[in-house]
Amino acid sequence: MSEMKVPNSFNKLTLVIPVIVFILVALFLFNPFFIINAGERGVILTFGKPGDETVSEGLHFKIPLVQTVVKMDVKVQKSQTDADSASKDLQDIHSIIAVNYHIVPEKANVIYKTIGLGFKDKIIDPAVQEVVKAVTAKYTAVELITLREKVRNDIKTMLRDRLAQYNITVDDFSIINFKFSQQFTQAIEQKQTAEQLALKAQRDLDRIKIEAEQKITQARAEAESLRIQKENVSPLLVELRKIEANLKAIEKWDGVMPKVTGGALPFIDVEKLK
């Protein structure tokens, strides 16, 4: 029997299939594609060395086994730092500082080269502590309380300039807490209490003065009224008052003479009544 000939197309197919399978396995194992999501930037490392460019959002290709990708968050982040400092009059201050920041997206590769991923601990926290110390030393403890908004702006401006050197942008800044020593806090409370008591005493004194002035004014008015009445008293007015008194007595008399009298009957001048 003669041997059956295998078609050339079949032979080629048997060769292509293993190649395709190998490629698929290689793609699965080595995964040469990567995706940079929104709010991220990528840094390609070739044998551990960062590249000179920052990879933006989207689908990208890397060389398997040769290149790796580090993703860096460029969205706004929050850092909270404890800072101990002293005021101009040497009062101890403990503050809690909150900073909203983001790294400059185009400089992600530079940040990774010079700082790495731990830039909060390496750069932001020390910068906050140093700036807070520098600013609070310019103000007294009382000024730090009364001029808090100015102090906040000074710290924010200085911190923004400081972190800009490291390609980190300060978006917002806030002082969560300004805490002084217990002795100073008690002194402030005592001062406020004394001021409140002094204010109350001043108000009481003003009230007493006003009441005294009112009484003096009232007494003067009464005296003036008596003076005017005294000046207007005349013999005719005296006689008129007597007549009015006699008329009231007549109105009250029932016409019956008292049987027992303890003295003389009141004399009524009838002629005058006429």
- Where exactly are the structural domains of the chain? 8-73, 77-180, 190-226
Q: Exposed e or buried b for every residue in 195-205, given b needs 16+ CB within 10 A?
A: eeeeeeeeeee
Task: Check: CB of residue 105 under 8 Å from CB of residue 54.
Answer: yes
Task: Identify whether the C-beta of residue 141 lies closer than 8 Å to the C-beta of residue 93.
Answer: yes
- Strand pairing category for 77-86 and 67-73: unpaired
**Fold of the CATH domain 77-180:** Tetrahydropterin Synthase; Chain A (3.30.479)
What is the Cα 58 distance to its own chain's centre?
41
Contact assessment for residue 65 and residue 154, using Cβ atoms and an 8 Å cutoff: no
Per-position pLDDT tens, the chain of length 274: 445 554 555 556 666 777 776 666 666 666 788 999 999 999 999 998 998 899 999 999 898 888 999 999 999 999 999 999 988 988 888 999 999 999 999 999 999 999 999 999 999 999 999 999 999 999 998 898 889 899 999 999 999 999 999 999 999 989 888 888 777 767 666 776 666 777 777 887 888 888 888 888 888 887 777 777 666 666 666 676 777 777 777 777 666 655 555 555 555 554 554 4
Write down the pLDDT at residue 270.
Answer: 47
Instruction: Provide the pLDDT for residue 1.
Output: 44
Closest Cα partner for 64 from 19, 26, 109, 22? 26
**Of the candidates 174, 165, 189, 151, the residue with the CA atom closest to the CA atom of residue 104:** 165
